[in-house]
Structure 1
């Protein structure tokens, strides 16, 4: 891969050799979507990324990375 940039090499590679602590994630199939979620609370996860879905779902702000997503059995009141 070739990267053309005006930034100094130190800035581009900053943090490259540091170990990143990744939080555990889960893959969730919900209808016609496949999401990667970071569990926050039982039945609630923070969206890390959309793995697979119809194109129009990418335009929905509620499916943006960082948004909370409810999954699992829903409580009926």
Structure 2
């Protein structure tokens, strides 16, 4: 692929390669989900990995929602 631009290549590709944040798989209320830890006991939902189909429609389980979980109570995979 050839990219023709008046912007320098450094500006075009700046930030294109970033290390992904550390995701964890946890089980909360019987739902296996991938989360991004924020601080102790709180995390942002990235995606649901395993749950009943009707649970995908719950607004509280949508990606981007912040949830609370106890580190000892959640099954870390």
Q: Normalising by structure 2, what TM-score?
A: 0.67
Conserved in 2, the CA contact under 8 Å of 1:26 and 1:37? yes
Which residue of 2 is the match for residue 40 of structure 1?
Answer: 38
Q: Counterpart of 2:53?
A: 55
List structure 1 segments (4+ residues) > 3 angstroms apart after TM superposition. Answer: none
Q: Report the CA distance between 1:46 and its aligned residue.
A: 0.2
TM-score by length of 1: 0.67
Structure 2 CA distance for aligned equivalents of residues 67 and 29 of structure 1: 15
Pairs aligned (count): 60
CA RMSD of aligned residues (A): 2.2
RCO greater where, 1 or 2, for CA within 8 Å and sep 6 or more? Answer: 2
Residue 39 of structure 1 and its aligned partner are, at CA, apart by 0.4
Q: Which runs of 5+ in 1 are unaligned?
A: 1-9
Unaligned runs of 5+ in 2: 4-12
Report the alpha carbon displacement of residue 32 of structure 1 after superposing the two structures with TM.
Answer: 2.2
What secondary structure, in the 3-state scheme, does the structure 1 residue paired with 2:55 have?
helix
1:31 is displaced (CA, Å) by 2.9
